[in-house]
Chain A
């Protein structure tokens, strides 16, 4: 969690390998593997997934075709074939309450805010990453949308070996996805770490509470 401009999206983009950023020091490791050595698509194949805050539209690229190609490149051709792909796609779409007709639309082209978020989670479910980053996937969603997204996250992460980093401004989604840890980011640094209760406290007391705390600890 963290204020606007505190570096949450930057962190997500750096982990995924956005070309705008160069890492001068520090490591990004996934199961011991150095991600910084890898290109973005290699990181994706290694198991990193980013649910974008602002997913890009690709006019003319059909959702169904794109999903199949992405599954093939990340999980291998076998996973993108016939019946297996069909049934996992069907299951994921049912979980997220996405109609069949969605598959013939163009990637994020003319999608509503809610559709974009659901589509990100649909990709999460199908790509089965080791580590998923959800960048404000709950923003701009109504309560039903948040529940659906949460259900998607839970089914992708809970009961699997996968992990997730949820970037959010609101503790509401945390009512449906129980976090193991909550970190608060301020000016590019983690200033507080705690359990789920930290999110609740933060919502009650605001970031000023942490400002003074950070000042006292000489972090700000």
Chain B
């Protein structure tokens, strides 16, 4: 706009891009084979049935072609042979931060995890590379029978529950990356909330990749028993490297009758991380599943949190934001399947693109023939900050029952000079004015976050907006 506004590189402002010296106790060679899959299972001392699922999933992964939609160019450039599929740091999972190796502890300190744990969380799992290095849960919850473990411990200690639900919501055949995750999964969270127990404060998992060319494949399973409730929050970051890493998670949620699960993600991977994640929950009678999904980082994200509304009166909500800056493609959205009557869903998707970034909304809502009186509400808003950036939407609706009330709204907007001028006339510099507009755009999402996350996200976006207008 005016001469003295110098465009700075926002990318250099990624605050979580440092890395620790690698201090692995176990590191597999680069590349993937059936042997690697078997070795992962063996090192964890898993039961045979899990080894078998892994091996089957591996073969499916090899045979399954790469998706032909989304960003095919980026997908096809993933070098699967140059990725490390298992890396263990430290000696195991500690329940005292003092026992976590100093470098790693220091990293989580910088990320503010121990501090958040003390202030407002019911429990924390901190995963570093392939496995959890720290884990704890408040004693009172444990006494009420709440199980919150890393997934490896979950399988060891509660094999029966894991066996019952593992791959039951997302079979490994679902897609190429759910097959990959099932083959090489490591870490993630296992949660069971007993009947009628309400976990008031959120539990949090934090996923940190540290090594170069790392593959992180956490696997999460959350079961909320009848009439219970839980809010799970996850965050993730990685160092900035010139070579790529791969994060491919699978998350399965089971909301039994009358229960409530909220799953909040703030994904802030560095922009050399492929983030290819499958998330799906099944909602039984009168239960609610909410995905609150923030995608701020990564090179390519393909993620469409899904809810299957299986029980009558169940409710799904997917609220997501995506930010795509230079060299980033956020292909995100939501899927909801109404299989039962009187089910309701609400999808709100907001994306901001800048500096040549690309944001895509991809959504799917279906209402089956037998599902009477369903309500569907979909809103997609895109904000494009410059001429180089791109936004597109791919909404699909399959409504097979005529009693459904379905609403769909979509908007694409740009920041206008007049809007900026108005805010600048109130004493706000150009960067600040833009940050006010952008934070306002994300506000419907941000207000869903725990306060601490909301503040952090607003600051993060303000940082991203610095020097945006050249």
Contact = CB atoms under 8 A, between A and B. Distances in A.
B426 A56 contact: no
Interface string B1-19: 1101000000000000000
Contacts of B416: 56
Given A20-B417, A56-B416, A61 B436 contact: yes
Interface residues of B, number: 27
A212 to B, nearest CB: 37
A58 B366 CA distance: 34
Interface in A34-49: 39-41, 43-45, 49
B28 interface: no
Given A18-B421, A66-B436, A59 B429 contact: no
Contacts of B426: 41, 44, 66, 70, 73-74, 123, 127
A50 interface: yes
Contacts of B428: 41, 69-70, 73
Contacts of A127: 426-427
A58 B423 contact: yes
Contacts of A43: 425
Given A39-B4, A40-B421, A74-B426, 18 more contacts: A19-B1, A39-B430, A40-B424, A41-B428, A41-B433, A44-B426, A54-B418, A56-B419, A56-B423, A58-B419, A58-B437, A59-B441, A60-B444, A61-B436, A61-B437, A70-B426, A70-B427, A127-B427
A73 B435 CA distance: 14
Interface residues of A, number: 32
Given A16-B425, A41-B424, A44-B426, A58 B432 contact: no
B7 to A, nearest CB: 16
A18 B417 CA distance: 9
Nearest to B381: A59
A106 to B, nearest CB: 7
Contacts of B432: 41, 73
Nearest to A50: B425
A56 B443 contact: no
A60 B442 contact: yes
- Interface centre among B432, B440, B441, by most chain A C-beta atoms within 10 angstroms, is B440
A52 interface: yes
A44 B424 contact: yes
B425 A69 contact: no
Contacts of B122: none
Contacts of B436: 58, 61, 66, 69
A40 to B, nearest CB: 4
B440 A58 contact: yes
A57 B436 CA distance: 12
A57 B1 CA distance: 21
A18 B424 CA distance: 10
Interface string A14-27: 00111110000000
A74 B427 contact: yes
B418 A56 contact: yes
Contacts, number: 85
Interface string B395-426: 00000000000000000000011110111111
A48 to B, nearest CB: 8
Contacts of B417: 19-20
B439 A61 contact: yes
A113 interface: no
29 contacts: A19-B1, A19-B421, A39-B4, A39-B430, A40-B421, A41-B424, A41-B425, A41-B429, A43-B425, A44-B424, A44-B426, A44-B427, A52-B422, A57-B419, A58-B419, A58-B440, A60-B439, A60-B441, A60-B442, A60-B443, A61-B437, A61-B440, A62-B443, A73-B426, A73-B427, A74-B427, A106-B440, A107-B440, A127-B427
A89 to B, nearest CB: 15
Contacts of B441: 59-60
Contacts of A41: 424-430, 432-433
A55 interface: yes
Nearest to B416: A56
A156 to B, nearest CB: 15
Interface string B98-119: 0000000000000000000000
A124 to B, nearest CB: 11
Nearest to B429: A41
B427 A56 contact: no
A18 B422 CA distance: 9
Contacts of A50: 425
Contacts of A74: 426-427
Nearest to A46: B427
Contacts of A19: 1-2, 417, 421
A200 B426 CA distance: 34
A105 to B, nearest CB: 12
Contacts of A54: 418
A43 B428 CA distance: 11
